[in-house]
Structure 1
Amino acid sequence: MGRQQRAVRTRRVILEAAAAMFNDFGYDATTIGGLIERTRLTRGGLYFHFASKEQLARAILDETSALRPVPPQPLKLQEWVDMALLLGYRLPRDPLLGATVRLSVDLRARALFGTRWPQWTDAGEELLCAARDRGELLGHVEPAEVARLLTASWAGIRLLDEALPDGELCTQFAVFLELVLPNIACPGVLAKLDTSPHRAAALDRAT
């Protein structure tokens, strides 16, 4: 393995370890000393990649600022559903994504770094606007309002699941979608939408 490849792999190891600690302990209680112990790197080795805990947090947020695009579908509303299902599938499996939610609800971290809620909400709104333009949404639906609701639900469902675990997170997202979709989708479109949580694993492999 070349030096550059080792550096990329080490950087990823550091980011994932820091993300796990932010998830487990919160921003304030996570320390560089604890991260060095977890990664078994030297202090110099860690500082070669990240000069501070603040830089680590910013790097994690930057890595997850844009949600990975979903595969194109005949219905734009299905793409919006797929985005929600994929997030539910990835949150417990991707430490950086999980840490982004944790940092975004941590008052101190939020004051320092802001959140990624605007980017995530914009991604949902873009798909919903495209669905509206294609006649897939009921006439009363405001894409910005629905996109904001989905982002808030992502965070709330994730945090509640951590406190009161109750099965697969993606299944909880699917239940949420099944409750929301009859209020926003035209009947002919609603009948064609697939909200199965099992869909998410196949989508993840395809992206």
Structure 2
Amino acid sequence: MARPRQDRAVRTRAAILHAAAEVFDELGFSGASVSKIIARADATQGAMYFHFKSKEDLARAVMNEQGEGIVMPEGEPGLQHLIDITLHLATELQSNVLLRAGVRLAVEQGEFGVQDDTAYQEWAARFHEQLVAARDRGELLPEVNERELAWVLVSCYTGTQLFSQVSTNRADLPERVALLWRYLLPGVATPEARARLVTGPGAAGTARR
């Protein structure tokens, strides 16, 4: 009997987390309430507090699990794959409520007494992995530091998606990410790499050979 209970507990936690993401995405941390989250999840107060100690605890979970379940595009590691990942994340931000809420809470985390860069560091680590592969493929200029570039890219991406959110509710985010790469690549990629890279929205995996 233990396994059915465990499965039910996992489903309940996931339902609460998803409901919290929806409410945080719509209202932000300050506007959200535990009662609204419980009602959205169709859960009990006991179930809520079994899995999460407080609204702050729930917000931290949404913020730090924002990347869970995202299926990244396939491709050979390197600059094109990194570009494809960032374009894919742009479309995910248009439809993935957990990612959207996690990003919003990462910006608002001061409101619930948190100073946690875990989510940013995780994305920087993913980007860095692709940049190391790009270095091995000879795609980066000699003066480029892969770790520094990963940090710059996460910073620029964060600002880009926030600007897009305010301007168009992220409707134009893929185009803005493509524009970011258009101006970033000349400073980091070799001419040979730039000649075959594709940065337009919907161009994942279509690099010119």
Identity among equivalent positions (%) equals 37
Counterparts in 2 of 1:173-184, with a 5 A limit? Answer: 173-184=177-188
CA separation of 1:110/1:126 partners in 2, compared to 1, >3 Å: closer, same or farther?
farther
Contact 2:12 2:47 in 1 (8 A): no
Q: With structure 2 as the length reference, what TM-score do the two structures score? A: 0.82
* 2:169 is aligned with 1:169: no
Q: What is the deviation of 1:20?
A: 2.0
- Which of 5-14 and 49-58 deviates more? 5-14
The separation in 1 between residues aligned to 2:111 and 2:91, in whole angstroms, is 25
Q: What is the deviation of 1:24?
A: 2.3
The separation in 1 between residues aligned to 2:55 and 2:186, in whole angstroms, is 44
* 2:24 is aligned with 1:28: no
Which residue of 2 is the match for residue 76 of structure 1? 78
Q: What is the deviation of 1:113?
A: 5.2
Which residue of 2 is the match for residue 10 of structure 1? 12
Q: 1:122 aligns with which of 113, 121, 125?
A: 125
| Structure with more contact order per residue of length (Cα contacts < 8 Å, sep ≥ 6) | 1
5+ unaligned residues in a row in structure 2: which ranges? none
Contact 1:58 1:113 in 2 (8 A): no
- For 1:140, the aligned partner's letter is E
Which residue of 2 is the match for residue 144 of structure 1? 147
Which residue of 2 is the match for residue 100 of structure 1? 102
Which residue of 1 is the match for residue 193 of structure 2? 189
- For 2:193, the aligned partner's letter is V
Please, what is the CA RMSD of the aligned residues?
2.6
Contact 1:65 1:119 in 2 (8 A): no
- For 1:146, the aligned partner's letter is L
Which residue of 2 is the match for residue 50 of structure 1? 52
Secondary structure in structure 1 of the residue aligned to 2:189? coil
The separation in 1 between residues aligned to 2:158 and 2:197, in whole angstroms, is 23
CA separation of 1:118/1:10 partners in 2, compared to 1, >3 Å: closer, same or farther?
same
Which residue of 1 is the match for residue 88 of structure 2? 86
- For 1:147, the aligned partner's letter is A
Q: Can you list the C-alpha shifts for 1:92-149, whole angstroms capped at 9, x where unaligned?
A: 2111111221111114257425131112112212221221232111122222232112
- For 1:60, the aligned partner's letter is V
The separation in 2 between residues aligned to 1:148 and 1:68, in whole angstroms, is 22
- For 1:196, the aligned partner's letter is G
Q: What is the deviation of 1:70?
A: 4.4
Secondary structure in structure 2 of the residue aligned to 1:55? helix
* 2:161 is aligned with 1:133: no
